[in-house]
């Protein structure tokens, strides 16, 4: 299972926008080939973070597989 907290711990210093977070999720999903994505924490409040961030991240992960 791919956890959002692990992505942010590993790459958080290099992510400054919500779009960069989505790109990082795609990269990690493809590299790890994980089947499930767990949003165990809320992402940082980036300037471009939408109100439907949960749905957007879920769709981003699903589209990467």
pLDDT digits 0-9 by tens, 10-53: 999 999 999 999 999 999 999 999 999 999 999 999 999 999 99
Residues 41, 56: Cα–Cα separation, whole Å: 15
Domain boundaries, the chain: 2-64
Contact 46, 16 (CB under 8 A): yes
62: pLDDT confidence band, cut at 50, 70 and 90?
very high
pLDDT at 41: 98
pTM given for the model: 0.94
- Point out which residues pair with 38 in neighbouring strands: 3
For residue 3, what are its two tokens?
A: 């956890």
For residue 60, what are its two tokens?
A: 């981003």
Residues 22, 30: Cα–Cα separation, whole Å: 12
């Amino acid at each position: 299972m791919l956890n959002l907290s692990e992505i942010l711990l590993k790459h958080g210093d290099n992510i400054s926008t919500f779009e960069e977070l989505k790109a990082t999720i795609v990269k990690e999903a493809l590299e790890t080939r994980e089947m499930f994505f767990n949003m165990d924490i809320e992402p940082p409040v980036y300037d471009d973070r939408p109100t439907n961030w949960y749905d957007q991240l879920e769709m981003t992960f699903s589209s990467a597989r």
